[in-house]
Structure 1
């Protein structure tokens, strides 16, 4: 069937040609400057020192410069970093830690393992980050709250100014799960220096990659000193441990990989922003579809390019749209569905029914492929597939239901 301006060609589920017959994965990692990386790895192996060496220190210094913060502590992963920050901040004894329900489960896991009790708060309608007003209300209702946590979802910066006011009013530390945010900016300020600490991920799906690893950024010198001890079992160097720490060191090999990704990071973030803008332009005007976007003046890493679908208006639910995209060869994910308060790990808290906005948004999200080296033509073909699917939503609905 030939497409027309009013009726695009048939989607694959209705007999059309798939947009990507060979498949389009959600993420694809391509290591930059492999020769430089191999030289770094070789130097580490030649040194015979695989932990607690100069490569980790070099990564910390480079990250601190990019983030414009005085202290960065490298750790084995973002979750461990969050756990150690919360422990150092005095979370424990089952005291409440207010956090978004719309986040990756590791946010809640970190609070749990640090001895806190997650209390979930609503998401903002506009960008799905933590709603400061709802967080304030839940802090006020909590018995001796221990901390406030927020997540820069998809790399979209939170309402940092308002959240700091909320935390200060409640007398609790503010800790950011910044797993997605290395390279994001709130106004002209790099994400990394807000709150007591911000913890980044360097896992393979992120914009800056170490294979596995995390970075804790902070302006608090005492916290940084504590974290350097905490990541090594709580051992200050004489094996007389000061507190129950973790084996949360980043290896020299992972640090070498991470260093390789720091060079050119702002340019890669800018490219991802351009891809997101191109996708947004291509789907502009589609009924029932909007993107999770940062506020004007903010910069997102677009770690994930996520659609928010109004099923009644779009014509298909997020789940049905995912199945239609799969037929086009396009991978997708429901980031984040179900929200954490509805996951089985936290059912015992009895908070599943308390977040109607979060529930609605989580039921509406669908993340489509985007990676740093993706070209504009691939992004456009992905957008065109979404347009085809929506344009034939009436017929697709009969097939998918």
Structure 2
């Protein structure tokens, strides 16, 4: 009967209204927050004021580092960090990452050299990292995919033994923990976070550079001021990377709630896993034992042969059910037009290409109700049950291939 079939086959959608893949997480803004906003607006300091200083201090204490330098975006944080290092040569990085990782390197004249990822953790594999390093390698730029820590100790040991600095793109990882229990942010020379609207902690827009290197932090604070140390005689080619006071105030407002929000995200992920863990053809990202991911995104890998549908077919069918999904990171950097100069032949990065072609991000929202998770999982299971019919639609141009 049609009533029991997926919506793409004419059945009734499981969800009565569309569910976005994500939504900004912001603490309720009551009278106290409004008073802070009024104080900022009447202070005469819309940048470089008390809110910025307080936010930097509180984030540094939260992470457990000596310095947290707030900037206008995570991309700006990456760009200024690499500018302060003044490196020339190659930057080893994953191709499976957001474009900002590669852009920051290219804006600083560094040439990307792509290392393959682990097919289960989606993070740059230490062995592949070692193979990508040459005499021209000036930097290793590792990434914590979707807020889960990469194998940083092994990569850091590799970098130390070869005298190469390690910088970590931790855009999605503020509040996550390494397997040793320390918060993400204290490893490598610096770790850079994004505070954009899709992140578990947001300032609207913003970024944080976390580092225990006091000299680097001092230089970064000059770099975010156009390279001007205060005497109008620029000492480096900096940029306007300042975080506005209003953004810093929003960050301070949200930060105390971050552990609670991350716990809620983990609860929703656990519910997804319980519902789908035995579903052939669907696998979840592997998180290192005793580590904690922020689950900025909840991604599953779709195996077409075992699930009966490709990733794109599943995404199309879920859209008909009212479930919004997202494809990460497809295409990976080495397949993007801006990186055609550094493209590599198909098969050189087999895990990167396989993951990029099969990964799908499912909805993960603030305060996500468990019955909503159950409904989304029911939609997925119903689609799989009718995978042969949906696949037949594809053969006749009626579903995404």
TM-score bucket (shorter structure): over 0.9
> 8 Å contact 1:207–1:301 — kept in the other structure?
yes
1:366 aligns with 2:360: yes
Give distance in 1, aligned partners of 2:90 and 2:301: 30
* Structure-2 residue corresponding to 1:51: 47
User: Which residue among 78, 85, 88 is the counterpart of 2:84?
Assistant: 88
Deviation of 1:223 (Å): 0.5
1:42 aligns with 2:42: no
Q: Which shows bigger deviation, 83-92 or 99-108? A: 83-92
* Structure-1 residue corresponding to 2:220: 227
1:16 aligns with 2:8: no
* Structure-2 residue corresponding to 1:319: 312
> 8 Å contact 1:23–1:330 — kept in the other structure?
yes
**SS of the counterpart of 1:183?**
coil
Deviation of 1:400 (Å): 2.8
* Structure-2 residue corresponding to 1:61: 57
Give distance in 1, aligned partners of 2:357 and 2:2: 34
Deviation of 1:341 (Å): 0.8
Deviation of 1:29 (Å): 2.2
Deviation of 1:167 (Å): 1.1
Give distance in 1, aligned partners of 2:71 and 2:217: 12
Q: Which shows bigger deviation, 27-36 or 219-228? A: 27-36
* Structure-2 residue corresponding to 1:249: 242
1:258 aligns with 2:254: no
**SS of the counterpart of 1:73?**
strand
**SS of the counterpart of 1:189?**
coil
Deviation of 1:243 (Å): 0.7
1:348 aligns with 2:341: yes
User: Which residue among 99, 124, 132 is the counterpart of 2:126?
Assistant: 132
**SS of the counterpart of 2:137?**
coil
**SS of the counterpart of 1:264?**
helix
1:268 aligns with 2:261: yes
Q: Which shows bigger deviation, 32-41 or 127-136? A: 32-41
Q: Deviations over 1:366-387 (max 9, x none)?
A: 0011122211111111111111
> 8 Å contact 2:83–2:108 — kept in the other structure?
yes
User: Which residue among 151, 158, 171 is the counterpart of 1:166?
Assistant: 158
User: Which residue among 113, 120, 124 is the counterpart of 1:119?
Assistant: 113
Give distance in 2, aligned partners of 1:59 and 1:195: 22
1:396 aligns with 2:387: no
> 8 Å contact 1:200–1:215 — kept in the other structure?
yes
* Structure-2 residue corresponding to 1:284: 277
Give distance in 1, aligned partners of 2:318 and 2:67: 43
- Provide structure 2 residue ranges, at least 5 long, that are not aligned to the other structure: 396-401
Give distance in 1, aligned partners of 2:173 and 2:249: 20
Give distance in 2, aligned partners of 1:375 and 1:255: 30
* Structure-2 residue corresponding to 1:6: none
Structure 1 352/338 Cα, relative in aligned 2: closer, same or farther at 3 Å?
A: farther
User: Which residue among 99, 103, 114 is the counterpart of 1:109?
Assistant: 103
Deviation of 1:85 (Å): 0.9
Aligned residues: 392
Deviation of 1:30 (Å): 4.6
Give distance in 2, aligned partners of 1:20 and 1:59: 40
1:300 aligns with 2:297: no
Deviation of 1:293 (Å): 3.2
* Structure-1 residue corresponding to 2:189: 196
* Structure-2 residue corresponding to 1:27: 22
Deviation of 1:343 (Å): 0.7
Give distance in 2, aligned partners of 1:170 and 1:224: 24
> 8 Å contact 1:196–1:218 — kept in the other structure?
yes
Give distance in 2, aligned partners of 1:383 and 1:124: 26
Give distance in 2, aligned partners of 1:384 and 1:39: 45
- Provide structure 1 residue ranges, at least 5 long, that are not aligned to the other structure: 4-8
Deviation of 1:233 (Å): 0.3
Give distance in 2, aligned partners of 1:388 and 1:41: 48
Q: Deviations over 1:271-317 (max 9, x none)?
A: 11111010011012111110113122110010000010111111111
Runs of 4+ in structure 1 over 6 Å off: none
